[in-house]
Structure formats: structure tokens, C-alpha cells
Structure 1
């Protein structure tokens, strides 16, 4: 099992330590861990947020375990050198077009949500976000209008192949869950969404056992607060998925508990917590490593087919939370290492 370990910036370094400890605790085939710089630390050491040696490692590894990127001191760099471009570059170069972000309420933590406990407790959904198209990768720039005004522009576009491949991933995911897929778009305004909806309906023919529904993105945002329990798999584009997945995480109660997987056509994937580098608390030992640990569990499941080990790690994290070992983001006092210790102890005792 060859894993590229890209801890990145801020708390990424601290939480990665705990995830690797957990991987060493469960019964796995031989691990080969190769570390490399990415993000702000890479820019400072190599002059690029995604150095060639880091990209080469990512391309040859079986999976990438990714911490976080973000360095406020480097925000003034030009766009291609900004540290966030490392993530976009990895997605593009590795063709990781499907982002899986599960959001599920943890028993006993419903009160952390801004929603009523009974509403938050019903959350068990998967947001499937297309990653390599949309306005994030479309033509963009700044220009001057005929009247001399400054104008910025970003082109949103999808072709039918891009939509079809993410739709197939969505329907297959739904088959393994509650067999419901809600495709989110803005087809009443955007031509991109008109094509999106048509192609999703064409792909749906291959999955007669999955119930397909459509929802405009503004209504989806409202429904995710009003009745999030209605959703099973939510399929959407890059821009809408970026927004809705963060909303779903806070409906659960904390962005510090949620993992993600970015997948392509094969088994290689990039696995990362959905929170950022949190530079305000970096180095203090108080970051919650749970999402990083759960990301490692997703890696075992999707890249290596080790379902039993993935389930054990997920159960250990859930049991630690149920025992009241809570980080500062959850109103507790447990440190990064104490949470890691508790998860390792659960796995060792299993």
C-alpha cells in the first residue's frame, strides 16, 4: 500500500500524525508512506505550492492522504502561486472528478447543530460534487467593457461526458445506500444546468432501482436546513457542491468531523478532511483530528477495498465521541493527541 502523505499547512501537520498512528494500529498489508510538501510550506521550500516532485509522487502512489493548505501570509501571491491552487492542480492532473462528502449525525452530538436536535439527528446523506469542471476550471479573467468599466468573468460549462460520468458514480452510490438520488441544478436559469438535467435523466435509465428527483439549488439549500433527513445522495456540480457540502457539515454540527474522498476512474483517490488549515490554532495541539482519521478510513474503503478496517476506524471514532472525548471545536477540552490516543485505544481493544 503506497500512500503519498501530503500534510500541508497549519493544523494539517498535527492531524496527519494522528491519522497515521491509527493506520498503524489496524491490521493492514505493508504500508509505504512517502511524505512531500504541498501548499504554503511547499511554496516556501520550493517556490511552488505543487512542486514537480510532489505531483510525481501523487501520480505514482496508490492513494493520497491530504491534510490542508492555507497560509494567510501568502494570500497576496498571484493566482497560479496561491497555495489553494495545489488542490485544484492535483484534481486536474489526476482527473479526480468525483468528490464524496458524507454528512451523518453522530449520536449524542445533535445539540451541536444549529438545527433542532430531532432535525439534525436525521441527517445521513452523501453529497457527490463534480470536481474538474464548472466555473472553477472554465475560462476566466478580467477585462474592460466598451464603456470603460472593469469586468470580471468566469465561464461555467459542462459537456455531456463530464455529466454522465459523475452521474454514474452518483447512481451507483445510491444503490449502496437508500436508493434515492437528488440532482441539484439551476435549470430554470442556466443552460449548463439544462444539459446537466437532461444527461442525468438519460443515465437514470440504467438504474431503474434508484429513485431520481431534481431540485433547484436555492431550494436545496433551504430544504437542507428545513428537512435534511429527506436526502440520501445529492448529485451536483462543482460550484453548487462546494457550497452545499459546507452547509451540510454545519447542519451536522461541526466541520471538524467530516471527511471526503476525491476519486477518478480507477482506485486512486485523494482523501482529506473538509475543514481548512486553521492557522489561528495551528501548533497549539487543540485541532480535532477526527475528520482526518475518518478520511483515512475512506481511503481504506475506496482505494484498497478494506471495508472491515474502514468500519472499525469509523466505529472507534463514533465510540470516542459517545464517550465524551470531545475537542475544543465540540465544546470539550481534549487535545489533538488525546483524541488520537482514545481512538487508538478503542482499536487496540477491539
Structure 2
């Protein structure tokens, strides 16, 4: 197999984790007989510095010409005073919209070895294996009108939450299709007691559910869902929700794993998929070898599975990550003050495990 991947390193620790992920893909290619070619482009603050915009036309062209897109992270204090159009986050929203990746998948699975890194009790963490399916290209992040103006009472701001029936239906269908391959249970999260958009969401969820008689549908208000995620997270299989709620709930769910540095994501539509770790740019640790690349590695596994249909290779990555953790290796965010390995060292451990099946050359790393 020959595939082209557009790499958008971005800001902060983005270049570090994507560099490790590229090395991982090169290892997968050599070991399994595939060829991955890489094209690099700027996004976020790096693009503002180089091109005066967080999402240059050259970046869009590079993504369009690729089979998948690997993104690091965007943002940082350096660009906090930029206008809305020049903020790094505008590049992230723009690339999602341009690629039409309306479905963001965030699998949350607790590695037993990391149970102690979570703030929740070990018994609460047992059996957690869920996927949050977040609508990614609609809702309040993209609705118009939006902005601010000065009025007699001071500054007035407006953000618009807008959804069409078609946008809601397609994300719900995606969630039900995923549930068919799992435990056949969908929790649709909304705020139907307050929001008109949520009332339409609930109506369409009922309509879609009728097409999947073997999949159970449960409605849950977002405030209750936030509580249930920390009270009884094992009850969830597939959670589907709109853009803003999904953004918040998926970051909350990240803490079930012990670190946001362990949570991958895949953003899918009808063209190239966009794969990125859920964590931010963490500029305070950039360049220090402290970044955790495992969420990016697990995002690579999602790329292999969803964009390239390479299930064996995807499983090899996931198995290698689990094996390295089982052997006791930790990055700084997972170490709880104990010994840890660097970004590149844990990358080497995972890649070695894929090739050899064990950590025979890594006994003395810690």
C-alpha cells in the first residue's frame, strides 16, 4: 500500500509528537511492506508567523492532495492578542470545516496499568470502554451571526447555535453504525429541556434509532451526562452529541485515562480523515522531551484503521503501546513524581515492540 499523509505539526509540543508519529508510521511501513509519503505544512501560530494567517491556502492544498492528515496541536500565549481571524484556533476550526470532517471520534479506554494515574477510584474505572462521537462542523462554533459590538449598556456579544436536520442526522447515523460493531448502545446527549436545537436533535435521534432495531437508544441531558461520566463511566458504550457539548465531555472523559496525553481522536467525513491527539500545545514543556506522544500514536492507529483499512497494523500499534505501559515505562505526565522516560525514548520503545514483539533492547531505559 502507498499513501500520502499531510503532517501539520502546529505549535508547542505538536512538532515533537508528530515527529515521533512519523517515525512510527515509517516503522509500520518497513515492517508490513507499505509506503507512506509525508508532506508538511503549517497551521495555527506557526502559520501566522510564516504566512500571516492560521490556515494558508498552501496548507489546504496539501491536505486535499493527501489520503489522511496528521495534526499535532495549535495555540499558545504568543498569539493570545491576535484578532479572532488570526488566532491559531481559527486554523483548527477552518481545517475541520474545509475537509468536511463532521464526525469526531474519541475512544476512551482505561489501560489497567494507568488506573493509579486517574483521580477516580479504581473500582469506578473498571470496564471503561466508550467512544464519544462529537459533531464537529456545526453548532455554536460555526453559527452566524457572531461577534461583539458596543451598545448603550456596554459591550454586547452574540454567538449563534445553528444546526440543520441533515447535519444532525448524519452524525447520529455514524454513531449508530459504530454502536453496531460494539455493545449496541447509543447515549444521545442534549439539553432538550432548554434548547430548541436539542429538541430537534432528540426528534431526529428517535427517527434514526427506528432504523437500527438492534441498537438501544438512551437520551441524557448534558449536565447529567457530565455527572455520570465520573460517577459510572462504564455504563456508556457510544455517546453522541453536538459540537460544544462534545468538546467539553470528551475532555472530561480524558481524565478517566489518567492523562489527556493518552486520548486520541479521528475526525471523519467523505474525504481525507484528520487525526490528532486531544491534548493541547502545552507550550510550557515544548522542547524539553516531556511531551507524551502516546495519544498521537493511538491517533495513528485510528488512521490506519479508518482511512487505510489496515486493522492488523492498527492493532499492532495499540498492542505495543499497552505492552510498553505494562512494562512500567511512563512519560512525565503519567509518572506521579516517579521515574519517567523522554518523548523520544518512549517512542523508541513502542517502535521496537512493533518490530520485535518485546522490549528486549530496552531493559535499562529507566
Give the one of 339, 344, 349 matched to 2:351: 344
Contact kept in structure 2, 1:130 and 1:237, CA below 8 Å: yes
Structure 2: how far apart are the matches of 1:185 and 1:311?
Answer: 33
Instruction: Give the match for residue 13 of structure 1.
Output: 15
Matched, 1:313 2:317: yes
User: Offset of 1:144 from its aligned partner?
Assistant: 4.5
Structure 2: how far apart are the matches of 1:79 and 1:28?
Answer: 45
Q: Secondary structure at the match of 2:131?
A: strand
Q: Secondary structure at the match of 2:35?
A: coil
Matched, 1:298 2:297: no
Q: What does residue range 250-329 of structure 1 map to in structure 2 within 5 Å? A: 250-266=255-271, 268-329=272-333
Structure 1 residues 194-231: Cα deviation after superposition (integer angstroms, max 9, x where no partner): 00000111111111111100000000000001000000
User: Offset of 1:176 from its aligned partner?
Assistant: 0.9
User: Offset of 1:280 from its aligned partner?
Assistant: 0.2
User: Offset of 1:286 from its aligned partner?
Assistant: 1.3
User: Offset of 1:23 from its aligned partner?
Assistant: 1.0
Q: What does residue range 209-248 of structure 1 map to in structure 2 within 5 Å? A: 209-248=214-253
Structure 2: how far apart are the matches of 1:265 and 1:17?
Answer: 27
Give the one of 58, 77, 85 matched to 1:72: 77
Structure 1: how far apart are the matches of 2:33 and 2:219?
Answer: 41
User: Offset of 1:18 from its aligned partner?
Assistant: 1.1
Q: Secondary structure at the match of 1:334?
A: coil
Structure 1: how far apart are the matches of 2:257 and 2:340?
Answer: 20
Structure 1: how far apart are the matches of 2:35 and 2:326?
Answer: 32
User: Offset of 1:40 from its aligned partner?
Assistant: 1.0
Gaps of 5+ in 1: none
Instruction: Give the match for residue 96 of structure 2.
Output: 91
Q: Secondary structure at the match of 2:328?
A: coil
TM-score (norm 2): 0.93
Structure 2: how far apart are the matches of 1:87 and 1:149?
Answer: 31
Gaps of 5+ in 2: 358-366
Structure 1 residues 102-136: Cα deviation after superposition (integer angstroms, max 9, x where no partner): 11100121111111111113221100000011110
Structure 2: how far apart are the matches of 1:115 and 1:260?
Answer: 22
Give the one of 208, 228, 233 matched to 1:203: 208
User: Offset of 1:313 from its aligned partner?
Assistant: 0.3
After the TM superposition, which segments of 4 or more aligned residues of structure 1 sit over 3 Å from their partners?
Answer: none
Contact kept in structure 2, 1:123 and 1:252, CA below 8 Å: no
Structure 2: how far apart are the matches of 1:172 and 1:227?
Answer: 24
CA RMSD for the aligned pairs?
A: 1.1
Matched, 1:51 2:53: no
User: Offset of 1:2 from its aligned partner?
Assistant: 0.9
Structure 2: how far apart are the matches of 1:22 and 1:77?
Answer: 35
| Segment of structure 1 superposing worse, 126-135 or 150-159 | 150-159
Matched, 1:100 2:105: yes
User: Offset of 1:143 from its aligned partner?
Assistant: 3.2
Structure 2: how far apart are the matches of 1:253 and 1:178?
Answer: 24
Matched, 1:141 2:147: yes
Q: What does residue range 161-200 of structure 1 map to in structure 2 within 5 Å? A: 161-200=166-205
Instruction: Give the match for residue 6 of structure 2.
Output: 4
Structure 2: how far apart are the matches of 1:155 and 1:35?
Answer: 34
TM-score (norm 1): 0.97
User: Offset of 1:295 from its aligned partner?
Assistant: 0.7
Instruction: Give the match for residue 360 of structure 2.
Output: none
User: Offset of 1:28 from its aligned partner?
Assistant: 4.6
